[in-house]
Chains A and B, each alone.
Chain A
Amino acid sequence: MIHSLFLINAAGDIFLEKHWKSVVSRSVCDYFFEAQERASEAENVPPVIPTPHHYLLSVYRHKIFFVAVIQSEVPPLFVIEFLHRVVDTFQDYFGVCSEVMIKDNVVVVYEVLEEMLDNGFPLATESNILKELIKPPTILRTVVNTITGSTNVGDQLPTGQLSVVPWRRTGVKYTNNEAYFDVIEEIDAIIDKSGSTITAEIQGVIDACVKLTGMPDLTLSFMNPRLLDDVSFHPCVRFKRWESERILSFIPPDGNFRLLSYHVSAQNLVAIPVYVKHNISFRDSSSLGRFEITVGPKQTMGKTVEGVIVTSQMPKGVLNMTLTPSQGTHVFDPVTKLLSWDVGKINPQKLPSLKGSMSLQAGSSKPDENPTINLQFKIQQLAISGLKVNRLDMYGEKYKPFKGIKYMTKAGKFQVRT
């Protein structure tokens, strides 16, 4: 399975290497650098690169390439999914996953990697188990450790490793017992030139933060579970119960976790909460182009649309833009040709707009493509699909927990073609 792992930064330096079998020379990464050179952008580096003796499988996250070296047949998704899990674990441990953070905590990183794989095969990937084996570094613990000489490494087998509920450790205690659930929905949409929807679908997740004492057994039911078209669960959710009763029944992991992700299919009508009016034109003769965008709310169920950011990749021919926004701030980067307009809140009475002109490269003909507009926005207190949690019950423990449910709708990959 996984032979070695190399971490490579944007500058092409290998700043960490780990081997689970015999050492593979880091010169193997030359093949990777070659491929990187061929692909103009980082995300175009093929995730699987064959070399004469090895195969390099890589993921690119947080401006770091995680390159796994394998020697024989293995399902590529197995490795890729594992690498993503490594990144998630680092993020979980250190808050952010960056080169600096990894370098600062290189020993913990090494210990964690050692536990995650044995002979290249995943051993412990549940962050709950890992955290019992190797405690995440905190300032307090570092201070205490230097004084008392105690360590970050647990000397007992984590209880989760053997239990039938591996995601939860035993003996969890809280003074305030709380369980929060965030229903977050993202709208993926492509809107065509005329404003009609080409494709729209809703991808939702329920992220939970559960801090409950003991071994609580929770059930979460929905008012309208039939909405959920395709779901994937955290392993803690009892699948059969969902199948038969459409109820989420689970013993939750401790802390933050993603309970469920779901999909509301394109077959159902998806309400599009915003519209964009645009008028972008290049004229053949002059070196000036007109640019005008207005953003407005539509089907928002009475909620305000906030956190609106409009970005657009302008054609190469655009040299500069002179724009005036009616609200918010805008930036045009003449190098990357990226226009970004931070709108903020949409006031339905006074629609935000951005107007002005573009100066084009003199002499060259007008660009034949119009830029696509990418939109980001947020709507609090609303799940656009209409999904509603009915109730949350707890069994197995005596105390009364504090329960909270929050809804939010966001733009996912929301594109407007012009």
Chain B
Amino acid sequence: MAASPAYGEDKGGASSLGEPEYGHDPASGGIFSSDYKRHDDLKEMLDSNKDSLKLEAMKRIVAMIARGKNASDLFPAVVKNVACKNIEVKKLVYVYLVRYAEEQQDLALLSISTFQRGLKDPNQLIRASALRVLSSIRVPIIVPIMMLAIKEAASDMSPYVRKTAAHAIPKLYSLDSDQKDQLIEVIEKLLADKTTLVAGSVVMAFEEVCPERIDLIHKNYRKLCNLLIDVEEWGQVVIINMLTRYARTQFLSPNQNESLLEESAEKAFYGSEEEDTKEPKAEAASLAKRKPYVMDPDHRLLLRNTKPLLQSRNAAVVMAVAQLYFHLAPKAEVGVIAKALVRLLRSHSEVQYVVLQNVATMSIKRRGMFEPYLKSFYIRSTDPTQIKILKLEVLTNLANETNISTILREFQTYIRSMDKDFVAATIQAIGRCATNIGKVRDTCLNGLVQLLSNRDELVVAESVVVIKKLLQMQPAQHSEIIKHMAKLTDNIQVPMARASILWLIGEYCEHVPKIAPDVLRKMAKSFTNEEDIVKLQVINLAAKLYLTNSKQSKLLTQYVLNLAKYDQNYDIRDRARFIRQLIVPTEKSGALNKYAKKLFLAQKPAPILESSFKDRDHFQLGSLSHLLNAKAVGYQELPDWPDEAPDPSVRNVEVPEWTKCTSREKRKEKAEKPFYSDSDGESGPTESADSAVPHAEPESVSEESGSSSSSSSSSGSEEEEEEEEEGSGEQSEDKEEEEKRPKRKDKEGSRKDQWGEQSLSPEGGCGTGGSASRAVLMGLCLWGCTYRAVPMQVCYQSCPHAAVPWGHWGCPHRAVTHQSSVNPFSLNPAVTPPPPQPIPSSSIISTSLVTDLEGLTLTDTSLTPALLSPAFGAVRTYELLHRMAGEGLSVEYCFSRRPFPGDPHMVAVHIQISNNTDAEVKSLRVSEPKLLSGMRIQEFPEIERLAPGDTANVVMGIDFCDSTQAANFQLCTHTRHFYVSIQPPVGELMAPVFMSENEFKKEQGKLTGMSEITEKLTLPEKCRSDHAIVQQVTSAANVGRVPCGADNEYRFAAKTMTSGSLVLITLEQREGAVAQLTVNSEKMVIGTMLVKDIIQALAQ
């Protein structure tokens, strides 16, 4: 057996565990030495039937391995126990196997069958550990078995086993790289896995096996972005690093235009978490028209989803996010990482070391980012020297005109430190500050000259070197300093400093004509005792003096050159010979002689003192290569941004499963479901929009003629009926849903009571079918939804506990007041007043109006598109303040789609406030709105008091400036302040507009090219009828339908609230399920987001 050589190794003895002198030299001992017998006791123990003995033996063996002692001769005895029942023995045997199988391949094969059996075990831990060990024993013969096992495990039920399979991939790859193609298949499969447990491991496998196969990521990109926050921290690091590279190949550089304004326009729409956008909104809007760069929404997605991870406790994660932002984010946004990086400086010194290296690189490129944290880089006497020097580097990089005085004062303290290496570095840093900032050059120079009288020679020497560099910039003014330094030659011994002084005197001998020859005289005297580097400079000085002042120095130069001629060092001999030929004119010397002066005394450029961290950012920050400033093995180059963006549609996923995870989608899904079920048998909504006039129609017509006050009461009851029907629909739907997720149920249970109570209280006032809506509330309560498996957004920010249409709760008297205030609008014939009841079929109203007005609009005399009555689709409620967060006060809001009285640019937001506490809440009001510029809020009138259990409905208006940025404000009671924010879905930022088909086509013709966004989609089964499509579109966005000749085409039109830009939507249904959606709008961002929202609405 191949194992025999190993037998000979190192028989020292298992029994001699305690002996520290036990040698690990494998050469000692012969094959049959007496030592060999000493393992017998262990073997005996392993052979016994008692588990406790086996365990004891294994523990001793593992202890040997841990100490690096050779235990390979026990292999046969150990491997027998691989099938041992005792789990700890088994584990230790695994440890042993993994360590020695490579050396004893034949014997290791004996154990394979056990693992193969283990792979089929019902216990997932055993399956996983069998795969782990099988893939860890590096025996090439079993490659096919491993391949098979990995493939099988990749489709295992247990995510833990799948994770283990992902771990096994790089192991197999390192064993046999020929398996690459097959392994890539497995990776591809595991990349599609939706569990967070697997994500990190498979990306790690991807990075090790096939980092170049970027195409595998496309389809999983969005999923990875969305899962990221829930992946374990180590996986996060790997994924973020990989995504950084991916983004560099797939997106365009956000800084290519170098225009901050472009960015701000972007931010206005996407960066919902960005609170610090200061650029005026109006500018952003106007820029939108001509902007050539639009950040890919996927690019934004990545930035948005990684940002919270800056708060991670794991330094590696924070660093990974920081480098992602540094490499990918628009300049204006990179700043956010500074704070997090500064925080890491509190961590262990090793962490500080790495972070400071990266900060040093970043601070060269983006100095402004770290300036506010200048003081965090101040040095403490207890810092290790390597940290001190790095901090100094950062401080120097951050120095500018404004802060230089503070920094120099700080440096003064450092110069007196006991740590001499650090002092030397400080002097260098002062030199760099002086060269970079002209203002302080003289101050620095003076300071350094003072240091020349320092007692410590190292300090003086370092100062001399730095002064030399500084003087080179403006020598004429500083002959005094040069004289001072000339005096130093008597005392200073550090060769580098002496050499520097000599060079200076030589170079500027014209400024010190009297001293220079004298210095040469002294140096000639001590020439033989000097260091080589000093000797060279003495020769240099002599040569220069000879050329400028040959009268005084001719003989001296000859003398020095003669001494140098016989020097031991050949460099010096060479130099002497060379210089003599050049400067001393003889008959043999050539033409060069004439130019000697030019050669020696040419103007020399001042040295540029640069940071050693300059240009290090071509390495990916945070990487080992960056730290070492050299390419490490396996480093993946960070690609440059492409000039043209690759096709973004490659990341589209047919069934956008992941999208359901985001909060808005979730809400939509819940809120809309009832309509599907309704449309099968309900009266109102099922009727085809074009044909029969539904029962609701007369109401709206009468409303139109101005009799609002009479209809309001009848509409109230109407409303309730509608609601009841809807409620029951929802209830049944809800039951189905509950059955679908039994797991959630028990968690939900405890919450149900709370919510049931809460929902009942407002119902008391309205007197409608309580049980029905209660069920709705319970079913829709997402509180019990899985905790972290879905992105956090769902769980916390806007948990739609109740998505019951709003009007249902509306207290009658409130509704009346509101409507009378709207009344003036009804006098305008083109603008219809809001329909009194939230009939869930917007199309009915709009189309009926269309028929009414058709006569007018089909003529070619172009009317300006008139605002149409807001269509009432499903009104979704959003949560503004959760009951628990609000300490009993719960606030919800919805977009009623009615015009806001008084200001046509404002979006009306209905707010319902319920007091669930047992105390009265007083003086409820809005205060301190924190808005982006351009945004406005019309606050609702202060609510004086709200009795316990009572509910109040109010309306407020917000001008969102056509952006989906959230409006942040405080909701104040007499005791507390709550920070809340309202973020509008893009569809609510517009109001329907009426126009004829011709007008529509004309307008559409104007909005082509960049303003047109087209997307193909597949309509699901239940969304193919006219009615359903119209319904879905109008529920996703506040748009009005435009009549259309072709029957497979749907058109909608709307105007944005603030700027009044047209938004035209065309949905063309092709054969069967395929459809094409076109949105024309000069607001491209709104267009893009709208397309996304509508497609999502239709896909459900």
Binding site for B on A (CB under 8 A): 1, 14-19, 21-23, 26, 39, 41, 43-44, 46-48, 50, 55, 58-61, 70-78, 80-82, 84, 106-107, 109-111, 114, 118-119, 121-123, 125, 146, 149, 151-157, 161-162, 164-166, 188, 190, 192, 198-199, 201, 203, 219, 229-235, 238-241, 243-247, 249, 251, 258, 261, 263, 266, 313, 315-316, 365, 368-370, 372, 374, 393, 395-396, 413, 415, 417
Contact = CB atoms under 8 A, between A and B. Distances in A.
B418 A263 contact: no
Interface stretch (B314-322, B569-577, B807-815, B920-928): B314-322
Contacts of B315: 77, 80-81
Contacts of A41: 384
A151 B87 contact: yes
B454 interface: yes
A251 B787 contact: yes
A71 B308 CA distance: 31
A365 B456 CA distance: 11
A324 B754 CA distance: 68
A384 to B, nearest CB: 16
Contact of A75 (B125, B273, B312, B622): B622
B99 interface: yes
Contacts of A71: 633-634
Given A233-B311, A369-B418, A74 B624 contact: yes
A106 B126 CA distance: 24
A198 B413 CA distance: 12
Given A155-B123, A239-B311, A78 B796 contact: no
B467 interface: no
Interface in B53-82: 55, 59, 62-63, 65-68
A199 B376 contact: yes
A76 B378 contact: no
B233 to A, nearest CB: 7
B174 A21 contact: yes
Contact of A234 (B313, B632, B786, B885): B313
B160 A161 contact: yes
Interface in B602-651: 622-625, 627-628, 630, 632-636
Contacts of A46: 353, 386
Interface string B345-385: 01011110111000000000000000000011010111011
A123 B380 CA distance: 37
Contacts of B83: none
A125 B95 contact: no
Contacts of B1061: none
Nearest to A114: B95
B39 interface: no
Contact of B167 (A119, A231, A241): A119
Instruction: Give chain B's interface secondary structure class.
Output: helix
B758 interface: no
B635 A73 contact: yes
10 contacts: A22-B102, A73-B635, A76-B622, A77-B355, A107-B62, A121-B234, A125-B234, A188-B346, A239-B308, A245-B882
A258 B981 CA distance: 30
A72 B99 CA distance: 21
Nearest to B159: A162
A121 B167 contact: yes
A199 to B, nearest CB: 4
Contacts of B253: none
A157 B313 contact: no
Contacts of A149: 51-52, 86
B486 to A, nearest CB: 24
A370 B413 CA distance: 10
A156 B125 contact: yes
B792 interface: yes
A316 B1008 CA distance: 80
Given A47-B353, A118-B167, A190 B87 contact: no
Nearest to B794: A240
B311 A231 contact: yes
Given A240-B797, A244-B979, A369-B418, A78 B313 contact: no
B630 A249 contact: no
A203 B624 contact: no
Nearest to A234: B313
B682 interface: no
Given A50-B630, A81-B316, A157-B128, A240 B792 contact: yes
A219 B884 contact: yes
The 8 A-B residue pairs with the shortest CB-CB distance, nearest first, are A72-B634, A151-B88, A240-B796, A199-B375, A157-B125, A47-B350, A122-B234, A43-B384
B1001 interface: no
Given A368-B416, A413-B382, A16 B174 contact: no
Contacts of B623: 73, 75-76
B750 A396 contact: yes
B197 interface: yes
Nearest to B56: A146
B787 A59 contact: no
Nearest to A260: B313
A73 B632 contact: yes
A146 B52 contact: yes
B627 A76 contact: yes
Nearest to A414: B380
B124 interface: yes
Interface residues of B, number: 116
A245 B201 contact: no
Nearest to B886: A245
Contact of B622 (A77, A110, A244, A372): A77
Given A241-B796, A245-B979, A368-B416, A80 B319 contact: no
A235 B313 contact: yes
Contacts of B340: 230, 232
B273 A232 contact: no
Given A48-B627, A247-B885, A78 B795 contact: no
B52 A72 contact: no
B286 interface: no
B229 interface: yes
B382 A415 contact: yes
Contact of B346 (A39, A166, A203, A231): A203
A164 B87 contact: no
B52 A198 contact: no
A106 B62 contact: yes
B942 interface: no
A393 B886 CA distance: 13
Contacts of A106: 62-63, 66-67
Contact of B634 (A23, A73, A161, A233): A73
B351 A77 contact: yes
Contacts of A243: 273, 308, 797
Contacts of A44: 384-386
Contacts of A233: 311-313
B716 interface: no
A415 B318 CA distance: 28
B170 interface: yes
Given A77-B316, A162-B159, 6 more contacts: A22-B102, A50-B630, A107-B59, A149-B52, A156-B125, A249-B796
Contact of B624 (A75, A231, A244, A368): A75
A82 B234 contact: yes
A233 B313 CA distance: 6
A138 B908 CA distance: 65
A232 B622 CA distance: 20
Contacts of B563: none
Contacts of B625: 73
Nearest to B94: A114
B793 interface: yes
Contacts of B439: none
A195 to B, nearest CB: 15
Contacts of B979: 244-246
Contacts of A190: 378, 380
B138 A22 contact: yes
Contacts of B348: 59, 61, 80, 84
B327 interface: no
